[in-house]
């Protein structure tokens, strides 16, 4: 079956591309260092496809089966309000966080602060150059947290890349004071084992706990040796962030041997990544729960004592899941959606060859009570809009759209775009809206598209890896009630209780 035939499984209605809006901004910290792509989500070098594959992609575009290069398509219930191109931070765009009228956008080169008081015309407030892939980002009060998962010469924002085999190399968490959004100030740094690929905040009144997810140890790395079967927990005093320090390293996968007790991966489980840490953790503080996406394992754990989390249940999917990437609870905390980052964020996996179950979301019900709760698999969800073989497409970061009585979320799929889908029935999830751009090229496999797509105070915000910051509005009777839900702060990996 050709790519053209595959793409005929579903036609896409064409939308109107928004005009790119350029904004002036101030560069707050100087330094020539370039960010290093991270090992898990960083874009792979573009690779040429065969002449026949390129010809099939061009034919699919010509026939209207897939969008043209950079052409925007969307469902009728999605409106693309604006796009703000990248400016002084040219590297890969990454995660998003929100506070009041501000959005904070991570980038492998640093981060950018937007004023989103008018979602149709966001304004850049500041840009901070601080290379350190992937610069996963979150905020709490006057503090901003930035993950560094690339080996650096030191912990400054002027550092350069340096091999992890050198003891003096640094990776970990950086902390900024954002009391003045126009002038964020770097106030603290904490080195963590194997760096910080992602992080999750567990806020308290006086302190903020930071769960640091990292992985990929190596015996030759002085600060990242196996077994690396847990997470670093940092305690940050709100009034004295300079005293931030690691207070625990709980082992989540106990076991004998040099690699601990996580999923052994191949050759025991072919195609599955060996567990050597966690990729991402989502906490639901109102329920004292957390869900960990940990490479070859999915886990559910209690955070009643935030310094000493306790694993309640652990699941594996050695048939269809390659890399457990992220997790999302529903509002009632009786479901978890886990994503599979098949291809590591560098492959075209949304096509008929891969199929509907690999590289998909896995929907799990949480059954039972207390420490006896279990994760029970119900179904997979994957976008059925097949992409060109030049488009890197992967299940990535998303958030709930807060509608009482329904389980709806918006999710990024790299070049698969943005999907809004309903999993109220765990066994029969369905897409209800979408937005995407056509391929960047027809002759090379390229990494682009939405890294994170989150719903915040009535709008969908997306950080596009290549194209910049997008704002969308969904108008649909199933999601309209969410417009009345307002938050003062949102870090998606620290899920709020929307209806408390």
**pLDDT tens digits for 113-123?**
999 999 999 99
Judged by average pLDDT, the poorest of 8-12, 21-25, 99-103, 223-227 is 21-25
Question: Exposure of 76 by Cβ count < 10 A (0-12 exposed, 13-18 middle, 19+ buried)?
Answer: exposed
Q: Is the peptide bond before 495 cis (omega within 30 degrees of 0)?
A: no
**pLDDT tens digits for 118-143?**
999 999 999 999 999 899 999 999 99
pLDDT band at 60 (very low <50, low <70, confident <90, very high): confident
Tokens standing for residue 117: 């008081």
pLDDT average, residue stretch 207-216 = 98
pLDDT of residue 80: 98
- In angstroms, rounded to a whole number, what is the distance separating the alpha carbons of residues 376 and 427? 11
- In angstroms, rounded to a whole number, what is the distance separating the alpha carbons of residues 391 and 282? 28
Judged by average pLDDT, the poorest of 40-49, 269-278, 322-331, 351-360 is 40-49
pLDDT(5) > 50: no
Cα angle 111-150-469, degrees, rounded to a multiple of 5: 25
For residue 180, how many other CB atoms are within 10 A of its CB? 11
| Domains along the sequence of the chain with CATH | 3-490 (2.130.10.10)
Q: Tokens 């729960």 appear where?
A: 289
pLDDT average, residue stretch 456-472 = 98
**pLDDT tens digits for 300-340?**
999 999 999 999 999 999 999 999 999 999 999 999 999 99
pLDDT of residue 32: 24
- In angstroms, rounded to a whole number, what is the distance separating the alpha carbons of residues 126 and 129? 10
Given a contact cutoff of 8 angstroms between Cβ atoms, the answer to whether 103 and 124 are in contact is no
The DSSP secondary structure of 390-420, one letter per residue, reads: TB-B---BEEE---TT--EEEEE-BTT-EEE
pLDDT(25) > 50: no
Which residues are CB-contacts of 155 (< 8 A; sequence separation ≥ 6)? Answer: 148, 170, 172, 174, 189, 191
pLDDT band at 19 (very low <50, low <70, confident <90, very high): very low
For residue 326, how far is the Cα from the chain centroid?
A: 7
pLDDT of residue 64: 75
pLDDT of residue 31: 28
């Amino acid at each position: 079956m050709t790519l053209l035939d595959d793409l005929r499984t579903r036609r896409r209605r064409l939308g109107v591309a928004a005009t790119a809006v350029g904004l002036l901004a101030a560069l707050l910290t100087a330094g020539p260092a370039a960010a290093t792509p991270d090992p898990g989500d960083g874009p792979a070098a573009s690779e040429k496809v065969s002449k026949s594959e390129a010809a099939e992609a061009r034919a699919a575009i010509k026939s209207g089966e897939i969008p043209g290069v950079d052409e925007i398509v969307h469902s009728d219930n999605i409106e693309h309000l604006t796009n703000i191109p990248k400016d002084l931070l040219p590297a890969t765009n990454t995660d998003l966080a929100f506070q009041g009228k501000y959005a904070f956008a991570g980038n492998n080169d640093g981060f950018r602060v937007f004023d989103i008081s008018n979602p149709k015309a966001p304004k850049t407030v500041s840009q901070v150059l601080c290379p350190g892939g992937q610069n996963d980002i979150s905020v709490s009060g006057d503090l901003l947290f930035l993950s560094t998962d690339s080996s650096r010469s030191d912990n400054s924002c002027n550092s350069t890349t340096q091999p992890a085999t050198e003891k003096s190399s640094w990776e970990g968490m950086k902390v900024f004071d954002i009391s003045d959004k126009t002038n964020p100030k770097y106030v603290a740094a904490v080195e963590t084992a194997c760096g910080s690929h992602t992080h999750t905040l567990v806020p308290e009144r006086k302190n903020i706990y930071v769960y640091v997810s990292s992985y990929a140890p190596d015996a030759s790395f002085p600060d990242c040796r196996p077994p690396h079967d847990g997470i670093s927990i940092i305690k940050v005093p709100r009034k004295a962030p300079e005293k931030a320090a690691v207070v625990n390293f709980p082992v989540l996968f106990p076991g004998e041997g040099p690699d601990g007790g996580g999923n052994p991966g191949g050759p025991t489980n072919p195609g599955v990544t060996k567990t050597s840490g966690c990729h991402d953790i989502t906490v639901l503080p109102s329920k004292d729960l957390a869900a960990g996406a940990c490479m070859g394992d999915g886990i559910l754990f209690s955070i009643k004592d935030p310094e000493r989390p306790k694993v309640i249940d652990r699941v594996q999917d050695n048939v269809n899941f390659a890399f457990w990437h992220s997790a999302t609870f529903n509002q009632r905390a009786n479901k978890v959606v886990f994503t599979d980052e098949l291809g590591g964020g560098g492959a075209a996996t949304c096509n008929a060859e891969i199929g509907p179950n690999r590289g998909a979301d896995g929907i799990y019900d949480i059954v039972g009570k207390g420490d006896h709760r279990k994760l029970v698999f119900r179904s997979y969800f994957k976008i059925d809009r097949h992409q060109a073989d030049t488009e890197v497409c992967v299940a990535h970061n998303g958030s709930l759209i807060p509608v009482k009585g329904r389980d709806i979320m918006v999710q990024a799929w790299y070049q698969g775009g943005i999907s809004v889908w309903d999993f109220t029935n765990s066994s029969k999830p369905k897409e209800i809206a979408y937005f995407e751009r056509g391929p960047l090229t027809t002759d090379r496999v390229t990494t682009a598209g939405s890294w994170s797509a989150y719903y915040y105070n009535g709008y969908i915000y997306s950080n596009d890896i290549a194209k910049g910051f997008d704002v969308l509005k969904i108008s649909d009777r199933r999601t309209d009630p969410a417009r009345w839900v307002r938050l003062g702060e949102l870090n998606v990996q620290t899920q709020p209780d929307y209806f408390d």
